[in-house]
Amino acid sequence: MTKYSPNEADAKNGSTYTAEFLRVKGLAERGVANAQHSLGFMYFNGQGVVQSYELAVVWYRQAAQAGLEHAQYNLGVMYQKGQGVAQSFEEAAAWYRKAAEQGYAAAQYNLGWLYAKGQGVQADTQQAMYWFSKAAEQGDAGAQNNLGMMYDTGKGVPQDFRQAIAWYRKAAEQGYARAQFNLGLRYDHGQGVPQDVGQAMSWYRKAADQGYAPAQFNLALRFDKGDGVAQDSQKAILWYRRAADQDHASSQFNLGLIYDNGQGVPRDEQKALDWYRKAAGLGHAGAQNNLGLRYEHGQGVAQDFAQAQQWYLKAAEQGFPGAQYQLGNLYDAGHGVPQDQQEAVFWYRKAADQGHLRAQFDLGLRYETGGGVPRDEKKALHWYRRAAEQDYVAAQYALALLYDKDDGPEPNCVQANAWYAKAAEQGHVQAQFTLGLRFDNGLGTVQDYALAYHWYLKAAAQGHVRAQFNLGLMFMCGQGVPADGAQAWLWLALAERNGFSSASRYLKTVAATLDSSQLALARERLELLPN
């Protein structure tokens, strides 16, 4: 945020830079501070003279030592960036302070940043707040936005969304893109203002039209998901691409997903791969994981387990649980790496600790069977339970089996039945059959033939042969359902057809109770049933 004097404006807009340079140089050499600063500016920009940061510093310094605040500020910038001098945040802070104490808003803003970051000065949020406030009161939009962020996060001040909104709005109304984006976020989440998707979209759009990539991404995300606006894949792609062209990694990743899934565009594995690669190169963990998956399975690239391992590792080291789990799988199978169950368990645990369901389940399985870890059913119970409580059906069934073991870590028929029921309700066929069996025999629950029938029927419909056989017996004996010889024959015959040989002798008994027309009809119905 360099400030210009009238002489600088003349130098910038004049048609003959060389003549202006000579005029200004003469004044500067006679000790005119404004001219010294203008001469520094000319050397900085190469106007009328060969560009030289070193000579810019020489003339800025003379003007700064004479007390010219904008020269002090520009000298601070050059020390901060290391232009024409060795970089020194301490020197930058010293020169910013001189200008800031004269009321120069841009210097106040930069000094605030140095205090916020602890560069050249001891980190001090109170001092950062002080200098941002000074600049903000003079209308500096960057300082106003930063004050808003401090109130937003409660950094250096008590958290206050209303104050944050007030400062964001001041900066946003001056066209400051980041403040427009931040104001959009507050409307998006209803923090400090009533939630208002229309207002959020309006402020995002203002920032996006200025090229602010995070706002472009948020606009794209709304159109992509149809969240608060009509779903529009083409608008989503347009805004993702604008942000992606500025190396916004999440936008690049989402473009990869769009081409991967053919969402609003023809499916294109190569374009998906290209966008994943760009995002992965910028450190996006999801893109790194997806590249790993492609190399592991040979999708759009030659299968290469070593490349898969490298990309998984990059994402895993950033804490991406999916990649940690996939890396565990590679070590488990010895694909692209030496087979190492302990290393597999290490990565499974990393993923499991973050709530990755399959990793939690697999870790439970390893403790139950002793694969790569000492066998420990109590730890198996722990990991199964963590996945089961997140509705992972395989873990619910495994947990039920452990509770069902008389010699297990915590035998408990009631808990076993509860977890069988949760798995059964999610369609786990063996859990449905087991639950039917327990109601049928009153194991850990009150005997209830009607509920036994209910769960056998669910399992039988999924092809569970024992459930089909048990249904036949229930219809034969009238347990849980009215006795029905034709239904009994049908289920027993289906079980026999599916390989349950014990059904044969019961079939003969039931068939003897049916007349020829009933038996013929039952056989016709059997032919219509899938296995």
In this structure, the dihedral spanned by the alpha carbons of residues 490, 493, 498 and 501, taken in order and rounded to 10 degrees, is 150
- Distance, in Å, from the CA atom of 199 to the CA atom of 165, rounded to the nearest integer, reads 13
Give the tens place of pLDDT for each residue, 344-384.
999 999 999 999 999 999 999 999 999 889 999 999 999 99
Residues 6+ apart with CB under 8 A from 364: 379, 380, 381, 382, 383, 384, 387, 395, 398
Predicted local distance difference test score (pLDDT) of residue 8: 40
pLDDT tier, 531 (very low <50, low <70, confident <90, very high otherwise):
low
- Distance, in Å, from the CA atom of 388 to the CA atom of 112, rounded to the nearest integer, reads 50
pLDDT(17) > 80: no
pLDDT tier, 12 (very low <50, low <70, confident <90, very high otherwise):
very low
Exposure b/e, 55-71, CB count within 10 A at least 16 = b:
bbbebbbbbbeeebbbb
Predicted local distance difference test score (pLDDT) of residue 156: 84
Q: Are 248 and 213 in contact (CB under 8 A)?
A: yes
Residues 6+ apart with CB under 8 A from 342: 372
Predicted local distance difference test score (pLDDT) of residue 454: 97
Burial of 325 (0-12, 13-18, 19+ CB in 10 A): buried
Q: Are 336 and 309 in contact (CB under 8 A)?
A: yes
Residue 249's CB is within 10 A of a number of other CB atoms, namely: 21
pLDDT(7) > 90: no
Average pLDDT over residues 440-450: 93
The percentage of residues in the chain with a pLDDT greater than 90, rounded to a whole number, is 90
Predicted local distance difference test score (pLDDT) of residue 528: 85
Q: Return the beta strands (E) in 7-90 as ranges.
A: none
pLDDT(398) > 70: yes
Average pLDDT over residues 399-405: 96
pLDDT tier, 214 (very low <50, low <70, confident <90, very high otherwise):
very high
- Distance, in Å, from the CA atom of 126 to the CA atom of 289, rounded to the nearest integer, reads 41
480 sits in the region (left: phi over 0; alpha: psi -120 to 50; else beta) called left
Give the tens place of pLDDT for each residue, 59-76.
999 999 999 999 999 999
Count CA within 13 A, CB hemisphere, residue 13. Answer: 7
pLDDT(1) > 80: no
Tokens of 474: 């229930």
pLDDT(127) > 80: yes
Average pLDDT over residues 90-109: 97
pLDDT(217) > 90: yes
Q: What is the three-class DSSP state of 524?
A: helix
pLDDT tier, 16 (very low <50, low <70, confident <90, very high otherwise):
low
Residues 6+ apart with CB under 8 A from 238: 220
- Distance, in Å, from the CA atom of 202 to the CA atom of 63, rounded to the nearest integer, reads 45
Q: Are 322 and 351 in contact (CB under 8 A)?
A: yes
- Distance, in Å, from the CA atom of 316 to the CA atom of 311, rounded to the nearest integer, reads 8
Q: In the chain, what is the greatest distance between 2 CA atoms, to the nearest angstrom? A: 126
Average pLDDT over residues 157-183: 96
Predicted local distance difference test score (pLDDT) of residue 444: 87
Output DSSP code: residue 173.
T
Give the tens place of pLDDT for each residue, 453-488.
999 999 999 999 999 999 999 999 999 999 999 999
pLDDT(13) > 80: no
Predicted local distance difference test score (pLDDT) of residue 5: 37
Average pLDDT over residues 329-347: 94
- Distance, in Å, from the CA atom of 320 to the CA atom of 330, rounded to the nearest integer, reads 16
Place of tokens 């998006």: 188
Instruction: Kindly report the three-state secondary structure assignment for every residue of 324-342.
Output: HHHHHHHHHHCCCCCCCHH
175 sits in the region (left: phi over 0; alpha: psi -120 to 50; else beta) called left
Mean pLDDT of all residues belonging to the chain: 93
pLDDT(294) > 60: yes
Q: What is the CA radius of gyration of the chain?
A: 36
DSSP codes of every residue in 460-513: HHTT-HHHHHHHHHHHHHTSSS---HHHHHHHHHHHHHTT-TTHHHHHHHHHTT
pLDDT tier, 170 (very low <50, low <70, confident <90, very high otherwise):
very high
